Structure 1
């Protein structure tokens, strides 16, 4: 059967193959994210002797993610999504190696530099969900987007569970104990990059023209896109702020590393495992309502975290499970709102901007989380996170005033392609679909 390509990804003949590869790459690549999200906070506290520094590595990671989101989106436009994902993982490998060397040399500044480079791999993991949506017909986008996020649950849960074993591996190699997860990251990102490279054989290359600046600027000014960006930013801000300090908070109250790893694994599992369900709910009830449900879960997580016994692993686990589930709902709803609100040829720009918004919000919140926790304790941080999550309830009011959909204008510099669809062949005189995506 002849393979048709759209947005650089084959469809519909090899759609399941592409989504399966993306799921596998995301599952393996997400194992490396535990290095920056968990080991980074512990390594910073050990090197500086202050909890106030715990949020700095993850803060630099999300700042690097914000910059990488725009850069990788631009690279994907010029080449292909596959090239963008592979490049992101390659930069992440360099970042993990930098952190390992810096920790061995007792250079905290270099540790922060390596953490920033890890942001590129972080973006590669999360941009894969948009790649899956771009490889799908409109009716299957939410399901496939959620499927790729679900794939991340496998590696994301395994990563924190390797905290104890990787510590022993690092000690056996004569390295600082918290660099073990960075060794795991080097291997995980390498395998993920190789998997993404396999997609080249599944379909042809695309021909892409650079979009004018006015094109993507106009796309970001619409109310639905603004609501989507706000949902993604606030959701990630609350989750990152609390999780930047949670491992240190648990360690300070007598929980051993194996317990910390298990609790964090439960949280991360709930970030990704409910994604397919969130996708189906988004299709059924709309992204605005699912975003509000995610906000309610985040508020509940902050309340349970603030009121729970810090010595009880069960109480902390309950709070972090709610936090992860709320994040899943918010990210799926915000992502689908972004995809549905943007014309196909402008989607890569808004996808990158969405990841940049998430990274920028978290970059500002993670260091602030360390300062709040140092001044008022983990309970004060949890209350602040719950109050911030309340902002998400404004999404329905924004969407109720949604303006009329803009008429899509063709770009003479864009090369269109026709997509073969046996179920609904195009009628005579029907214009070809835009290059970058099938219209929603």
Structure 2
């Protein structure tokens, strides 16, 4: 491909690629730390709530609270990013999450339930930011590589997210050595990890990818107009806004989030009821979180090559298989429970990357970050609902009922995808 002349392409394709690679490198480093912070609430949040409050029905409350907090954070990070760039929006979100994790530890030490609940809400800022960071990789990406860009940002989360749950026992020992409850150990890690993720972005995410993408698009548009032609880079031109693409992308991610969060939240409690050790719980959740992020190396290219819709359909089938297996697996069978949780993470991965690519395709640079933040609010709220209801369902019925219901819920993807495949109305 011959680079465009400076008269029509002030920045140049090679410079764009260099900035794209630099952005991905910084995002990858931050996501390694962010993944470690994310894992704390997933692994021991419900167990810590049980210790502080008592009763199985509250086990889903931490997931609901930090997911609800992530809804507010998603909205705020999206708005700040739209106005001031990804660097300030993402760095601020991670630093807020670090503060929340630190106060969870303090609340557990003081056995202060109001502080515990507020801290869980604040901790959700890190969860939202961890997901919002996936968009930063797409700002300078070519249109045909957006799924791959999302996958690179996501897969880097794997390292910290898998390490965190598998460090539950040593982190518990560290917590006891520091004179705090053992279950707060992962939150000690989260406070440090989220803080480091925020600092990496604040210091190194320069130039800001979203602001740079806007500048490149504006400069190329002006140069093209001056030359009497049209802009040449489809990757940076505003996409033809599609409300249908945004609606279906959001639906895919919401349904996969509810299904995944509901089953995942109650799995540690289910395992403890069947006398699995805390180390076993950490191992299974580590496999689950790994399946959420590690397959991104393959999922992203598949989303780009075979399409958003087929991968979204694969998400629904995989989540259904996960729910059925989790419902049928004996409570004392760690291999079958682990297999179900791996399928659960894989189905979520398919849905998130396919849905994210649809959202990016359907938005323009002028509104992209704000729209992405609004969609992630819906994802967070749906996750909060799934987390809160999961404990109630298990308390009123059983884990098998919850798992089967979560799997069946994913089938609602089918009508959404059928609607999306219908011919789009002409745009006047």
TM-score (norm 2): 0.88
Alpha carbons of structure 1 residues 202 and 221: separation in structure 2 relative to 1, 3 Å: closer
Name which of structure 1's ranges 329-338 and 31-40 shifts more when overlaid on structure 2.
Answer: 31-40
- Give CA deviations for 1:168-215 in whole Å, capped at 9, x if unaligned: 111111111111111001110111112112334446994989xxxxxx
The aligned residue for residue 190 of structure 2 is: 185
Residue correspondence of structure 1 range 372-387 to structure 2 within 5 A: 372-387=393-408
Residue correspondence of structure 1 range 13-412 to structure 2 within 5 A: 13-202=18-207, 206=211, 222-404=243-425, 406=427
In the TM superposition, residue 324 of structure 1 has moved relative to its aligned partner by 0.5
Alpha carbons of structure 1 residues 167 and 206: separation in structure 2 relative to 1, 3 Å: same
Distance in 1, Cα, partners of 2:112 & 2:427:
52
Given that 1:291 and 1:395 are in contact with CA atoms closer than 8 Å, whether structure 2 keeps it comes out as: no
Distance in 2, Cα, partners of 1:264 & 1:73:
29
Distance in 1, Cα, partners of 2:209 & 2:156:
25
- Give CA deviations for 1:54-88 in whole Å, capped at 9, x if unaligned: 11111011111111111111111221101001100
Distance in 2, Cα, partners of 1:90 & 1:174:
25
- Give CA deviations for 1:228-285 in whole Å, capped at 9, x if unaligned: 1100100011100111110111111110011111111111101001112111111122
Distance in 1, Cα, partners of 2:51 & 2:23:
42
Distance in 2, Cα, partners of 1:314 & 1:160:
17
Alpha carbons of structure 1 residues 313 and 405: separation in structure 2 relative to 1, 3 Å: farther
Given that 1:5 and 1:204 are in contact with CA atoms closer than 8 Å, whether structure 2 keeps it comes out as: no
Distance in 2, Cα, partners of 1:224 & 1:124:
23
The aligned residue for residue 431 of structure 1 is: none
Distance in 1, Cα, partners of 2:163 & 2:174:
16
Structure 2 segments unaligned to the other structure (5+ residues): 1-5, 216-239
Given that 2:36 and 2:161 are in contact with CA atoms closer than 8 Å, whether structure 1 keeps it comes out as: yes
Residue correspondence of structure 1 range 411-430 to structure 2 within 5 A: none
Distance in 2, Cα, partners of 1:170 & 1:225:
44
In the TM superposition, residue 139 of structure 1 has moved relative to its aligned partner by 2.6
In the TM superposition, residue 137 of structure 1 has moved relative to its aligned partner by 2.0
Specify which structure has the higher proportion of helix.
2
Alpha carbons of structure 1 residues 366 and 113: separation in structure 2 relative to 1, 3 Å: same
Q: What is the root-mean-square deviation in Å for CA atoms of aligned residues?
A: 2.3
Given that 2:140 and 2:210 are in contact with CA atoms closer than 8 Å, whether structure 1 keeps it comes out as: no
Distance in 1, Cα, partners of 2:419 & 2:152:
28
In the TM superposition, residue 403 of structure 1 has moved relative to its aligned partner by 2.0
Distance in 2, Cα, partners of 1:283 & 1:161:
33
Distance in 2, Cα, partners of 1:4 & 1:316:
55
- Give CA deviations for 1:342-387 in whole Å, capped at 9, x if unaligned: 2232211221122111101111111110000111111011111012
Three-state SS of the structure 2 residue aligned to 1:13 is helix
Given that 2:256 and 2:351 are in contact with CA atoms closer than 8 Å, whether structure 1 keeps it comes out as: yes
In the TM superposition, residue 53 of structure 1 has moved relative to its aligned partner by 0.5
- Give CA deviations for 1:117-153 in whole Å, capped at 9, x if unaligned: 1111111111111000113122322211101111011
Three-state SS of the structure 2 residue aligned to 1:345 is coil
The aligned residue for residue 424 of structure 1 is: none
In the TM superposition, residue 221 of structure 1 has moved relative to its aligned partner by 7.7
Distance in 2, Cα, partners of 1:149 & 1:289:
20
In the TM superposition, residue 163 of structure 1 has moved relative to its aligned partner by 0.9
Alpha carbons of structure 1 residues 205 and 156: separation in structure 2 relative to 1, 3 Å: closer
Moved over 6 A (4+): 2-6
Name which of structure 1's ranges 134-143 and 43-52 shifts more when overlaid on structure 2.
Answer: 134-143
Given that 1:288 and 1:395 are in contact with CA atoms closer than 8 Å, whether structure 2 keeps it comes out as: no
Structure 1 segments unaligned to the other structure (5+ residues): 210-218, 408-440
Distance in 2, Cα, partners of 1:339 & 1:387:
28
Given that 1:289 and 1:396 are in contact with CA atoms closer than 8 Å, whether structure 2 keeps it comes out as: no
TM-score (norm 1): 0.85
In the TM superposition, residue 224 of structure 1 has moved relative to its aligned partner by 1.8
Given that 2:139 and 2:209 are in contact with CA atoms closer than 8 Å, whether structure 1 keeps it comes out as: no
